[in-house]
Amino acid sequence: MRPRPDAADLLAIACATLEEKLLPRLPPALRFDGLMIANALANAARALAAGEAPLHAELAWLAGRYGEEAAPPADETPAAAVLRLERRLVADIRAGRLDGDGEVARHLLADALAAVAESNPKYLKGRGIA
C-alpha cells in the first residue's frame, strides 16, 4: 500500500495552493500563466483519476469494430493497438467507407465530449451537456 498523499492528492494540493494562495498574489502580467498551470494540474488530476479505463474502452470499441480481439497481441501495447486501429478508422473515414455510419458518428461525438469533459468540464456544464 502506498502512503498518502498519493499522486492525485499531491496534484489536488498543488492546484488548490496555486489557485487559493498564489494566483491572487500574481501580478496581472503573470496571471494568465498561473491560470494555465492551474488548468494543466487539474487536467492531469482528471486524467490520473480516469486511469487507463478510457484507453481500454477505446481499444474494445475499435477492436470490435474491426473484428479483432479486445486484448492486443503480445508484442503490442494497448496504446499502440489503439493508435493502429485509429489510423485504420481515419483511413476508412477519409475514403468515404463510413459515410452515413451512425455508430461511428455517435462514437466520435462521445469521444469528443469525453475529451472536453476531461480538459474543460466547466464548458460542458455551462451548456447543459454534462
The string of pLDDT tens digits covering residues 37-68 is: 998 998 898 888 888 999 999 999 999 999 99
Task: Report the pLDDT value the prediction gives residue 125, as an integer from 0 to 100.
Answer: 82
**CA 18 → CA 7, 48, 58, distances in Å?**
16, 19, 34
Question: Is 91 within a domain?
Answer: yes
**24 preceded by cis ω (within 30°)?**
no
Task: Report the pLDDT value the prediction gives residue 23, as an integer from 0 to 100.
Answer: 95
Judged against a pLDDT cut of 70, whether residue 2 lies above it is answered with no
Task: Report the pLDDT value the prediction gives residue 77, as an integer from 0 to 100.
Answer: 94
Count structural domains, the chain: 2
Question: Is 2 within a domain?
Answer: no
Specify whether 66 is located in the same domain as 121.
Answer: yes
Specify whether 30 is located in the same domain as 58.
Answer: no
For the segment 16-44, the average pLDDT, to the nearest whole number, is 93
Specify whether 18 is located in the same domain as 80.
Answer: no
What's the rounded Cα separation, in Å, for the pair 63 and 69? 6
Least confident range from 2-6, 56-60, 81-85: namely 2-6
Specify whether 117 is located in the same domain as 57.
Answer: yes
Domain with 46, as residue range(s), is 7-50
Judged against a pLDDT cut of 90, whether residue 92 lies above it is answered with yes
Using pLDDT thresholds of 50, 70 and 90, give the confidence band for residue 1: low
Q: CB neighbours (10 Å) of residue 61?
A: 19
Specify whether 81 is located in the same domain as 58.
Answer: yes
40 φ/ψ angles, rounded to the nearest 5 degrees: -65, -40
Specify whether 79 is located in the same domain as 102.
Answer: yes
Question: Is 107 within a domain?
Answer: yes
What's the rounded Cα separation, in Å, for the pair 8 and 1? 15
What's the rounded Cα separation, in Å, for the pair 89 and 105? 12
Specify whether 74 is located in the same domain as 59.
Answer: yes
Task: Report the pLDDT value the prediction gives residue 5, as an integer from 0 to 100.
Answer: 83
Specify whether 121 is located in the same domain as 77.
Answer: yes
Question: Is 130 within a domain?
Answer: no
